[in-house]
């Protein structure tokens, strides 16, 4: 799921809907491509936490691919890097969600 720009309160509802649609279709392994995201707020972080919970409940998982420096900093400051699979390559992302 490629994302661009900001993941904040304005974009979060649409992203949550897309995740719900993926899960309803049985696609429980979700890769968030964050290579072009330069900002994430608490609403965006909540998207990741909820996606992780819902994907795992459905037998899947999520991975965060290539977060930019500002996004990686937010993930580390909030300690979400401890529960989320944060990877740098597509191959690592696929491996992280298919373990």
pLDDT tens string 44-94:
999 999 999 999 999 999 999 999 999 999 999 999 999 999 999 999 999
Residue 99 has pLDDT above 80, yes or no: no
Q: What was the pLDDT predicted at 1? A: 80
| Neighbouring-strand partners of residue 98 | none
Domains assigned to the chain: 2-97 (3.30.750.24)
* pTM reported for the whole predicted model: 0.91
Residue 19 has pLDDT above 80, yes or no: yes
Nearest to 31 by CA among 78, 81, 95, 82: 95
């Amino acid at each position: 799921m490629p994302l661009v720009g900001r993941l904040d309160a304005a974009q979060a509802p649409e992203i949550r809907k897309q995740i719900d649609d993926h899960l309803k279709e049985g696609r429980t392994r979700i890769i968030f491509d964050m290579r072009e995201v330069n900002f994430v707020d608490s609403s965006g972080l909540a998207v990741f936490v909820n996606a992780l919970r819902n994907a795992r409940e459905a037998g899947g998982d999520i991975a965060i691919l290539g977060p930019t420096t500002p996004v990686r900093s937010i993930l580390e400051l909030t300690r979400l890097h401890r529960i989320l699979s944060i990877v740098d390559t597509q191959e690592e992302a696929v491996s992280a969600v298919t373990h």
